[in-house]
Amino acid sequence: MPDTTLHLRIKKEYAAALIEDLIKVNAVEAIEEEAVELTVQQKEALDKELTTIAGSPAYLQKWDDVRHRFKKP
């Protein structure tokens, strides 16, 4: 039987325990992503955004709110 990759949506209150169990039975593997080179301007913009987030966590928005705002009618 060929390897199959499944994509799941897991409620965050269960995620940590589930991941720990999957690691114990060698059922998960790390995915290495290609390195992305950022320009100096991109790094500065990212640092500014991270500083803003660290100073005001309320700056972040919930995914459901963002998805609803951009959902097609």
Q: How confident is the model at residue 62, as a pLDDT?
A: 82
Domain boundaries in the chain? 12-70
CA distance 42 to 70: 25
Q: Quote the pLDDT of residue 37.
A: 84
The confidence score (pLDDT) of residue 23 equals 82
Q: In the chain, which stretches have pLDDT less than 70?
A: 1-2, 73
The residue whose two tokens read 């209150």 is 13
Q: Which two tokens stand for residue 11?
A: 């409620």
Q: What percent of the chain has pLDDT over 70?
A: 93
pTM surpassing 0.75? no
Alpha helices per DSSP H over the chain: 12-24, 40-55, 63-70
What is the C-alpha to C-alpha distance for residues 26 and 33, in angstroms, rounded to an integer? Answer: 20
